[in-house]
Amino acid sequence: MANYTNFTVETDSDGIALVTWNMPDKSMNVFTEEVMNELEQIVDQTTADEAVKGVVFTSGKETFSGGADLTMLQKMLGLYEAKRGGNEEEAMRFLFDNAGRMTWLFRKLETSGKPWVSAINGTCMGGAFELSLACHGRVAADSDKVKMALPEVKVGIFPGAGGTQRVMRLTDPQSGLQMLTSGQNLTPKKAKSMGLIQEIAAPDQLIDAAKAMIKNGLKPVQPWDEKGFKLPGGPVYSAAGANLWPPAIAILRRETFGNYPGAAAILRAAYEGLLVPFDTGLRIEQRYFAQILRSTEARMMIRSLFVSLQELNKGARRPSSVPESKFTKIGVLGAGFMGAGIAFVTAKAGIPVVLLDRDIAAAEKGKAHSAGLMDGAIKKGRATAEQKEKLLSLITPTVDYKDLEGCDLVIEAVFEDSEVKKGATQQTEAVIAADAIFASNTSTIPISALAQNSSRPANFIGIHFFSPVDKMMLVEIILGEKTEDKAIATAIDYVRAIKKTPIVVNDTRGFYVNRCVLRYMAEAFQMVIEGVPPAMIENAARMAGMPVGPLALTDETAIDLAQKIMKQTIRDLGEKAVDPEQFKLINTMVDTHGRLGRKNGKGFYDYPEKPAKKHLWPELKTLYPQQDADSLDVEEVKQRFLVTIALEAARVMEEGIVTDPREADVGSILAFGFAPYTGGVLSYIDGMGMKKFLKLAADLEAKYGPQFKAPKLLADMAEKGETFYDRFNPYPTADKAA
């Protein structure tokens, strides 16, 4: 056998070739151009070698594979765009052929005439699972480290290497569609019950079990290549098919509002593919895949939700001159809901935590929050009693600041009051080492103002979590005027240690995320005042791609908090800083009707006892004269939400609060679910085109007011033909992002 860079091939005395995928210098195996070329050689050589009776394919790493390297797709799209300038037809042929490279390689493998078995030893995603499905046998290790999925829909594309065709021929169509359109993870048990793998083996017997399948006479022919093959769910044109496909289309529309072309393409490729022979089905899939790759949604989602997210998670914004921090002890001040959540995620990362509050009962209650979260995870089978005990043993409740001695980092999450924070800062700095970092989890008070309480402002930084801490994946790191590199690097290292995504933001009122969220809510308040029916406000926001309507979101965060923010803004910036009509609406809700939001069971919604569902407060529409819903343009209502948020993000970039477009985009999706199909706030503008966006903003400004006034930056960018990724290029020393 030839020598390969990414694979080793060893044939045993039974004539079974063991192909082990182990890419050098990579923590995870991924499909690259080189990997596909080598795999094709291996298929050719094992097919031609008479001594080889069958092939077992496995990974030499802890994980099996993460699938295709999507930066390869980005590069391919860049080449396609370049070719379009010359000949559109030639460019499309290039894209179509490249989109089918893995498809036909896997098809070559499954029709090689020799049995292949995939031995799945860890996470097996995307193209790697599609490769496994092309193998004649599939066996997975019995381990909670093994997860199988086709998650492509989450980054705007879909399984385009045979996934839509093989899954739908192996399992019942309802389970198949659900798996393909949601990108859900499958355990070995679930995958076996769906018929996607045949066996589960103990991890140390995985290869033996795979070899045994071949020795026991595994057929080197897939079921769909045999005469008389019948689809698991019966033909498409049957009573069962009639009960499945129309509702499937309706459910997808209900879930996505037509915003995700990749998800719609799954349904089309699966439906059409099941009506024709397998090879034709693969060509249909290839055609849709090439079409989806060209979509703005795919381009933007791949960039933000794959490439940028990975780069930020690896610490793209970390100052490289500072050695990496290893945390031995972390302090959390304040054991309320936020502090308790911060203690939980820290202990979950295996780092000892000191949880301090004014009295021991409050500190103990903060620790009990972690016990409750672990009990919930145990109930769902996601954790064990031993893991709970281990996590709780890492949290030490206390009232004594001396217990913070030896902390590498202390995070303050006390009451939002400057004086309380001042006392906490000074008492902490009296006991921690001179080079330890002090961070505040404030959401409203500027970091530079809080740093004035510190005797070492260079080591003072903001680490802003979102609620609930255990679920929200984004953390804003806020720099004060005097914050230095060591504090930035330590904060990023900490956020990465707790497996969340850090973005770095300069100091401003509301930082980045809250500024955008407040615009979203303010536009909804404006609509309530205009008499837009509340149900239309909520539904249009969700149709625009937001996960939660703005009125429901205000209830979650509390209407009296919105009132407090407005009052504080008036105190700090004067009467004109807050819209008087919106202030009046919020005061009416809180002071007249006692509606504080979800926390007291009544806000813009009513929250009856379960199992009854929340519903909009019927009296809300009596506060203002209502417009006729039929006279309103739903498309325009949707645009108002997206445009007002995007304009605020553009202002944040203009002011230098956020300096990297990757952080603005990823931050907007992870923090408040800004329409993921757009790729984030700035990609929404870039994807639409600056001139078109400016015209839309100007039209909305003329009709609805100054909140839609575009900052000067955008006009300047339009004149120069720039995108945000040109103007604020995050890759100054490399090629620009596609």
Tell me the domains of the chain and their CATH numbers.
7-294 (3.90.226.10), 330-508 (3.40.50.720), 514-727 (1.10.1040.50)
The H helix count followed by the E strand count for the chain is 31, 18
Whether the pLDDT of residue 736 is over 50: the answer is no
Whether the pLDDT of residue 732 is over 80: the answer is no
Choose among 566, 523, 537: nearest CA to 703: 523
Q: Please report, as a single letter, which amino acid is at residue 493.
A: D
Q: Are 139 and 118 in contact (CB under 8 A)?
A: yes
Residue with tokens 């490399």: 734
Cα–Cα dist 195/724, whole Å: 46
Name residues whose C-beta falls within 8 Å of residue 42's C-beta, 6 or more positions apart in sequence: 4, 7, 9, 19
Q: Are 111 and 134 in contact (CB under 8 A)?
A: no
Q: What is the pLDDT of residue 670?
A: 95
Quick check: is 416 catalytic? no
Q: Are 603 and 562 in contact (CB under 8 A)?
A: no
Choose among 469, 343, 326: nearest CA to 394: 343
Kindly state the average pLDDT of the residues 616-628: 96
Catalytic-role residue among 38, 297, 412, 476: 476
Three-state SS at 21: strand
DSSP tag of 80: H
Q: What is the DSSP string of 603-665?
A: SSEE-PSTTSPPEE-GGGGGSSPPPPGGGS-HHHHHHHHHHHHHHHHHHHHHTTSS--HHHHH
DSSP tag of 323: P
Residue with more model confidence, 72 or 30: 30
Quick check: is 593 catalytic? no
The length of the chain, given as a count of residues? 738
Q: Are 102 and 68 in contact (CB under 8 A)?
A: yes
Alpha carbon distances (Å) from 684 to 614, 653, 713: 32, 14, 16
Name residues whose C-beta falls within 8 Å of residue 686's C-beta, 6 or more positions apart in sequence: 300, 723, 724, 725
The band of 286, judged by pLDDT with boundaries at 50, 70 and 90, is very high
Percentage, residues of the chain above pLDDT 70? 99
Other C-beta atoms within 10 Å of 419: how many?
9
Residue with tokens 């803004």: 569
Cα–Cα dist 415/337, whole Å: 11
Whether the pLDDT of residue 231 is over 80: the answer is yes
Cα–Cα dist 105/116, whole Å: 14
Residue with tokens 């029916």: 533
Cα–Cα dist 654/685, whole Å: 14
Quick check: is 464 catalytic? yes
Given phi > 0 = left and psi -120 to 50 = alpha, else beta, which region is 221?
Answer: beta
Residue with more model confidence, 735 or 590: 590
Q: What is the DSSP string of 40-72?
A: HHHHHHHHH-TT--EEEEEESSSS-B--B-HHH
Q: What is the pLDDT of residue 734?
A: 56
pLDDT in tens, 589-618: 999 999 999 989 999 999 998 888 999 999
pLDDT in tens, 93-149: 999 999 999 999 999 999 999 999 999 999 999 999 999 999 999 999 999 899 999
Q: What is the pLDDT of residue 176?
A: 96
Choose among 90, 39, 40, 101: nearest CA to 65: 39
Three-state SS at 170: helix
Cα–Cα dist 683/723, whole Å: 9
Cα–Cα dist 191/626, whole Å: 52
Q: What is the pLDDT of residue 703?
A: 97
Strands 124-125 and 16-21, bridge-based pairing: unpaired
Name residues whose C-beta falls within 8 Å of residue 565's C-beta, 6 or more positions apart in sequence: 444, 518
Cα–Cα dist 657/652, whole Å: 5
pLDDT in tens, 416-455: 778 889 999 999 999 999 999 999 998 778 899 999 999 9
Strands 116-120 and 137-141, bridge-based pairing: parallel
CB-count exposure of residue 381 (10 Å: 0-12, 13-18, 19+): exposed
The band of 510, judged by pLDDT with boundaries at 50, 70 and 90, is confident
Q: Are 451 and 482 in contact (CB under 8 A)?
A: yes
Structure tokens at 581: 């009509």
Alpha carbon 126 to its chain's center: 16
Catalytic-role residue among 370, 514, 668, 683: 514
Rg (CA), the chain: 28
Choose among 323, 496, 490: nearest CA to 408: 490
Q: Please report, as a single letter, which amino acid is at residue 579.
A: D
Among 65-74, 319-328, 543-552, the range scoring the smallest mean pLDDT is: 65-74
Q: Are 681 and 665 in contact (CB under 8 A)?
A: yes
Structure tokens at 166: 């093989």
Choose among 714, 706, 716, 657: nearest CA to 682: 714
| List of E strands, 108-264 | 116-120, 124-125, 137-141, 148-149, 199-201
Catalytic-role residue among 440, 443, 448, 459: 443
Q: What is the pLDDT of residue 737?
A: 44
- Mean pLDDT rounded to a whole number for the chain: 94
Catalytic-role residue among 110, 285, 464, 668: 464
Quick check: is 121 catalytic? no
Cα–Cα dist 57/207, whole Å: 9
The band of 75, judged by pLDDT with boundaries at 50, 70 and 90, is confident
The band of 69, judged by pLDDT with boundaries at 50, 70 and 90, is confident
Residue with tokens 């972690």: 370
Cα–Cα dist 478/448, whole Å: 9
Cα–Cα dist 12/484, whole Å: 59
| pTM of structure | 0.92
Structure tokens at 131: 């490769």
Other C-beta atoms within 10 Å of 227: how many?
4
Residue with tokens 């769910």: 233
Structure tokens at 326: 């290893």
Whether the pLDDT of residue 86 is over 90: the answer is no
Residue 478 forms beta bridges with which residues?
462, 505
Kindly state the average pLDDT of the residues 637-662: 97
Alpha carbon 527 to its chain's center: 30
Whether the pLDDT of residue 735 is over 60: the answer is no
Kindly state the average pLDDT of the residues 203-214: 97
Cα–Cα dist 629/63, whole Å: 53
Alpha-helix runs per DSSP H in 85-199:
88-99, 101-110, 127-134, 163-170, 173-182, 188-193
